[in-house]
Structure 1
Amino acid sequence: MCAKVEEQLMKYPEVELLFTKVGSEGGSMSFNETPNTAEINVKLVDKKKRNVSSKVFSIQAKNAISGMFGGPKFTVNEVSIMGTTTRPLELIVRGNNYDEVRQYAAKVLEVAKNAQGTTDVETSDEEGNMELNIEIDRDKLAKMGLTLGEVGAELRIAFAGDNNLKYKESGEEYDINIQLDEFNKKNKEDVENMSLMTRTGSIVKLKQIASVTEKKGPAMLTRYNKLSSVSITGQVAGNTISTIGEEIQTKLAEIDKPIGVDVVYAGDLENQTESFGSLLVALIASILLVYLTMVALYDSYAYPFVVMFSMPLSIIGALLGLALAGKSMSLFSIMGIIMLMGLVAKNAILVVDFANDMVEKGHKVYDAIVEATSLRFRPILMTNLALIFGLLPLALSSGAGAEWKSGIGWVLIGGLTSSMFLSLIIIPVIYVLVSKLLKKDKMNEQKHHKEIAEMEHIHTEMKSFN
């Protein structure tokens, strides 16, 4: 079967080489033994030599091969830089009651399968072989004079045996395995009729203190933070992981959830949440540092506030640039926004600083800001155009890894462009308003000092009269 699949894959011009592992899965650096599984690792030709991305090709190849070979189940996984397979979508359903976890995990699986942009969604909850489930009645157990520990020890001997005893001969030591004779542990009647001895010496059948039922058990038991869990994993195609996560959360909110059961969003969703949180802190810190630096340079708390208005203007252009380029918000995009906080502030600084100098020389505030805007437009335009043209190769790159690094280029280009034009409109208005408030405060302060001086003068005259 693997040889036939390899033959079909090698017919694609996008495939450079491949190698197959039979009996294991998880990537070239993984050694998970799975007897009924084979893994074919495919290396594609350079991106410049093919017209489709690796994700699109993998979906096309999977659909074609699935139609050729009936019976086997084909899934596609991306290979990480460490050589292991990765699955961006990972949901973990956990709780104390395993049956409730399995039932709710089945609903989560359906929601994940129906989410737009998910493929190859699988669950770790697979039915295993038939097994016997023994549920002990504690009340009957107490009436018989037995404990759970004693019953557990007897069951362990019956099913697994006991090798605590040793036999020594000629300096060699041998284990003595004690187990029940003529006992079929797969037969329900044999298990029900298993004899247990109480402390008084009487014999009790297992069916007198417990109920034995046959049912299919899970093929594998997993735990997450000491709780029973079921993992649901899948691939992402044609949509971002954040959009898929929001859709799944919205649909799960409409489904009744058992008490004590919850869903943990792991994988790329967890990594993205943690990374976005840390970058948001970095963004706030960068804004505060820029503001405090300008406060120290201007020796004023008001005019740095005027400069800060250029920052939200750049974010408008950054988001618009991402939308026009068809890029999604990513870690590198947020890093670009953080860089913008320092780059766009210089536009407003050039205008505000020049206007302050003209006001100190005796010009009116309105005349000063109009003159500063007209004279500083050229250097602002030249510096921004130089940055934008320098970032174009990064934004328009199409080589390996361009999908994740081009986003930062579009963020910077969009932010610089919007800030360059909007700052020359909004900043002068804010500057005039802040100057009027400062002038009003200064006049009030002078009036207050004048009233105090007059009061002191009246007090001095009255004292002289006395």
Structure 2
Amino acid sequence: MYRFAINNPIAILMFFIALIIFGVFSIFSMPINLYPKVDIPLIKITTAANGDLKFIESKITKEIENAISNIQGIKNINSTSYNNFSISVVEFELGKNLEIAANDIRDKLSTINLPAKPTLEKISPDAGSVVSLFLSSNDKLKLMRKIDNDIKPFLQKITGVGVINDIAFLKPQVQINLSPNALQKYHINALDVAKIIQSHNFKQYLGEFENSKDNFTIKGYFEAQNLKELENIRIFSGVFLKDVANISYGLEEQKQLAMLDVKDGVLLELNKISGYNSLKVIENIKNSLKTLQTIAGNDIEIKIVYDKSQNILKHINQVIFDMVFGVILTLLIVYVFLRNISATILAFIVLPTSIISSFFLIDLLGYDINRLTIIALTLSIGIFIDDAIVIIESIAKKAKTLPPLEASFEGIKEIGFSVLSISAVLLCVFIPIAYMNSVPGLFFNVLATSVASGVIISYLVSVFLIPTLSARFLNTSESTFYKKSEFLFTKLDLYYENLLYKILANKIKFILSTIIIIFLCFSLAPKIGLDFLPIEEDSQIQILLESKEDLSLEAMKIKSLKVYEDIKQDPNIAYAYLLIGYNDAKEIKKAKIYAKLKPLNERKFRQPKLISIFQEKLNSYEDLKIKVLELPKIEGAGIEDPVQIQILGDDLKLIKEAIDRMKEVFLKHEGFVAIDDNEGDLKEEIAITIHREKAAKLGINPQELAYVLAYSFGNLSVGSMDFNNFKDEIILSFDKKFKQNPSSLDLIEIKNQNNENIKLSSIADFSYKKDLSSINRHNKTTSIKLTSSIENISLGDVRKIFESNLAYILGDNNLSFAYSGFLDFLDDTISGFLFSISLGMILIYLILASLYSSLILPLIIMISMPLAFGGACFGIFITGNHFSLFVLVAIILLFGMVGKNAILLVDVANKKCDEGMEVEKALIYAGKSRLRAILMTTFAMIFSMLPLALSKGSGFEGNSPMAIAIIFGLISSTLLTLLVVPALFKFTYNLDKKIKKIYQRKKI
């Protein structure tokens, strides 16, 4: 192969040019996102039906859970029951097809009888919000009509746009606001009015005509055509609807609020379709804004208040800058060691070729371009150039005595086996990651695939293209810089030779000392915190508000605006918007503020510090529960708070007591911020209790009484009406001013069987009571979830604190617990890491044992791995960082990287021993001949990662610990490998020979 490549330069050159072209094409065609596609299959089941909380839980929520629980692939079912509706979110195992999952749920739901038909919504975290538009106008009715009929349909047609959430949208409707006093005057009630309207305003199929030629359907259109016709509906002789009600066009009762500065309006959250390129979808939306403004009209103001592309590009551009800077530093290191411009240029060729061509393989494997893809390639710059450096150096040595083509062939022939071994070791590290079927596994997979793709390409470039070019362009003449600096390298060689003699003379003492050092570094690991993903600089935060008591929308608006104004006036904030009642249940007591931070160079503090500052500042609002958080990293998965722990059981009171004990435990430890739980708060209600015997004597029908009350206070529909091609619902209710005070109940009258009007107060008692506003369930068991933010402690610390107090928290009450969110992901992260490392090391041993036909040499080579891990632990510990998903992936990569130094040493020493050289002389020769290559490649890898480690730009909090772990691991493994590996080789050489005698025979 090598000879063919060297003798056929054009064919080889064309092959790699083709790879680069395919790579460039992939770069421009691949989707670009911030993080890998994390497609947790989720389906939300929503059921709206009349009924109190207990009815909804028993007759809807539990029935749904029992029906679907045996569907294959379900991981979790989380349900919440409210008055009048139920929500169940079903989480499936990764890899479950959402369409199939939805069909399975539909099939199961069709087998049960529910009071109302449930609706299903497929949720894909990959299909998250990419752009949010804030729309406002002085004419609210016109705004709502435009949004419903023109703006949303237009946006929905934009390529890549999926679901559009409209927060604070109010549906236009015809409002019939009854006057209780007028009803009393004419001795009628709301139910009477509802029946009369429904009998005068309807559309109905009436039959059909059919003859030998035609068939005609008969339909009766008896709907009012305008408000005047509604007003003139006759109640009875001389009394019309307009006499008992005020009739007008209006908007549905407001349960949500969206505000930007002093304007209230509607927030449209535009979600992309799963699998589409986020940047392309955002570009499509922005390009459509001019047309959208024309459609909306000049009296409707449209503003982009959230643009995900800013965050994506900021992170991607930062990592690209770090990559380019790393390439430049790497080339400087290579030049300092080689001191040969032609050799440096040849080494440089491998970098753009490997990086660009890697995208072709990544694309083929179905991945997108994201931050982790580019980080992985940045971390691998040293790996890519490593093979080329070793091969160029080998060819340069041969070129001093041989013609160029022969020198290239002999150079690659001598070192080719080592390069193959190094690449095989690197690939073996990443193979186990393919078996990780979890959310952390998706992150691991992207990094592993990116690095593995680069390793394959860089190997091909190094062993085929580099020798081909070296045979024609490598200039082996010594430059002035080379001659003047060579004495320094000669001194380094001599110093290392003398040190190696001493080490080999005292090999047992040195090996024991190394074991002690490794043990001390390993002992640091339990003292290092563990997180899933760190809080990073995204230049945006969210503030969640919750009132400690039930409030009206106006009262919640007043409380929220105080916080909102406080946030807006902060010098670190660029702008912010406020949402009230933003969740599925449209709970007025809950609000959210999205705050866009000013650029990093215009503020004093980074985002993680600002979160802490804002949290401390806003804790002064004692009447509100306030949390300051980063935006969710995995959208749609319900992961906002880093700490989420559920207590499960059958007795809500016992669960609540356990939650209180957990709060007590956490409050004793520093680091827990804004501790809260999702127990349904006690909502104040007015209970109407009927005197059954008295009502029966008077001939009162309780169900009819319920309808009278519902039509009086419930905003129920009594039909619809066409208006200017708009079909609006007709809503019947008391006038708003009569719905502000419970005293209006005294105005309610109901007819008995004798058509007599009976006062409600004469047959019923009114009382105030408090009842739960919601009930939560996890996997068919009643639950309460405790949530918290954390500061200066890790999720690993949280788990230690919780689990060490578990007996006290749960008590002897037959309760259980479940981790949610990032705490749940920690188990998958650690188990995935340990599995990958363990299986990777086994595979590395199997590969090396096969390549070297030895059972001992692989163990000597693999000693560099614990040496590297010890260094990584030391680096993470002294810099105050935590283990995280990113760091653990970096350590897996590190294990593949560090084996190369030992391979280079062992390969040469083993060959010389086989040629008859004494062990010690062989080790001295191997050390001297490979010292510069080892130091050069190590420094190249370290300097390629310095920008990631030191850069303070976007993503620093995640990128820096990764680079630090690898840098310290490389330093420790290189320094100790240069000394420990020769000592171990000498110590085990005779043992290796004895073992070889058992299985080696004369070849046939």
Rounded Cα–Cα distance in structure 2 between residues aligned with 1:20 and 1:445 = 75
The reply on whether 1:78 has 2:630 as its aligned counterpart is yes
Deviation, 1:408, is 1.3
The reply on whether 1:9 has 2:574 as its aligned counterpart is no
Cα 1:411/1:160, change in 2 over 3 Å: farther
Rounded Cα–Cα distance in structure 2 between residues aligned with 1:289 and 1:338 = 13
Deviation, 1:364, is 1.7
Deviation, 1:378, is 1.7
Mapping for residues 118-129 of structure 1, pairs under 5 Å: 118-128=672-682
- Aligned Cα root-mean-square deviation (Å): 3.1
1:178-236 deviation line (CA, Å, top 9, x unaligned): xxx9875877xxxxxxxxxxxxxxxxxxxxxxxxxx99653321111111111101112
Contact 1:306 1:427 in 2 (8 A): yes
Question: Alignment partner for residue 363 of structure 1, among 905, 917, 920?
Answer: 917
The reply on whether 1:323 has 2:877 as its aligned counterpart is yes
1:286-305 deviation line (CA, Å, top 9, x unaligned): 22222222122112222112
Match of 2:445 in 1: none
Q: Which moved more, 1:345-354 or 1:270-279?
A: 270-279
Match of 2:412 in 1: none
Contact 2:645 2:786 in 1 (8 A): yes
Give the match's secondary structure for 2:855: coil
Quick one: which amino acid aligns to residue 71 of structure 1?
D
Q: Which moved more, 1:117-126 or 1:30-39?
A: 30-39
Quick one: which amino acid aligns to residue 886 of structure 2?
F
The reply on whether 1:112 has 2:670 as its aligned counterpart is no
Match of 2:601 in 1: 48
Quick one: which amino acid aligns to residue 605 of structure 2?
V
Deviation, 1:396, is 0.9
Contact 1:109 1:123 in 2 (8 A): no
Cα 1:118/1:445, change in 2 over 3 Å: closer
Give the match's secondary structure for 1:328: coil
Match of 1:176 in 2: none
Cα 1:48/1:233, change in 2 over 3 Å: same
Mapping for residues 213-232 of structure 1, pairs under 5 Å: 217-232=771-786
**Contiguous gaps of at least 5 residues in structure 2:** 1-557, 687-701, 708-759
Quick one: which amino acid aligns to residue 632 of structure 2?
S
1:402-436 deviation line (CA, Å, top 9, x unaligned): 11121211111011110111112221222122212
Match of 1:277 in 2: 831
Cα 1:436/1:8, change in 2 over 3 Å: same
**Contiguous gaps of at least 5 residues in structure 1:** 133-155, 162-180, 188-213, 447-466
The sequence identity of aligned pairs, in percent, is 28
Contact 1:58 1:76 in 2 (8 A): yes
Deviation, 1:14, is 0.7
Deviation, 1:390, is 0.7
Question: Alignment partner for residue 251 of structure 1, among 805, 812, 823?
Answer: 805
Contact 2:854 2:992 in 1 (8 A): no
Contact 1:55 1:237 in 2 (8 A): no
Contact 1:77 1:85 in 2 (8 A): no
Cα 1:440/1:219, change in 2 over 3 Å: same
1:359-407 deviation line (CA, Å, top 9, x unaligned): 1121122332233223322211111011101110011121111111212
Deviation, 1:254, is 4.7
Match of 2:611 in 1: 58
Match of 1:335 in 2: 889
Give the match's secondary structure for 1:301: coil
Rounded Cα–Cα distance in structure 1 between residues aligned with 2:899 and 2:863 = 9
Contact 1:117 1:244 in 2 (8 A): no
Give the match's secondary structure for 2:575: strand
Rounded Cα–Cα distance in structure 2 between residues aligned with 1:39 and 1:371 = 68
Quick one: which amino acid aligns to residue 39 of structure 1?
K
How many residues get paired? Answer: 373
Give the match's secondary structure for 2:628: coil
Quick one: which amino acid aligns to residue 43 of structure 1?
K
Match of 1:413 in 2: 967
Quick one: which amino acid aligns to residue 399 of structure 1?
G
Quick one: which amino acid aligns to residue 44 of structure 1?
L
Contact 1:48 1:399 in 2 (8 A): no
Rounded Cα–Cα distance in structure 2 between residues aligned with 1:444 and 1:280 = 34
Rounded Cα–Cα distance in structure 2 between residues aligned with 1:183 and 1:111 = 51
Contact 2:680 2:775 in 1 (8 A): no
Q: Which moved more, 1:370-379 or 1:316-325?
A: 370-379
Rounded Cα–Cα distance in structure 2 between residues aligned with 1:57 and 1:245 = 26
Deviation, 1:73, is 3.6
Quick one: which amino acid aligns to residue 594 of structure 2?
N
Mapping for residues 113-262 of structure 1, pairs under 5 Å: 113-128=667-682, 184=764, 217-255=771-809, 257-262=811-816
1:268-324 deviation line (CA, Å, top 9, x unaligned): 111122122223222223222222221221122221121111111111111111112
Contact 1:100 1:258 in 2 (8 A): no
Give the match's secondary structure for 2:866: helix
Cα 1:97/1:443, change in 2 over 3 Å: same
Question: Alignment partner for residue 18 of structure 1, among 576, 590, 594?
Answer: 576
The one of the two structures with greater contact order (alpha-carbon pairs below 8 A, sep at least 6) is: 2
Deviation, 1:112, is 2.8
Quick one: which amino acid aligns to residue 573 of structure 2?
V
1:90-114 deviation line (CA, Å, top 9, x unaligned): 0100012332222212111222333
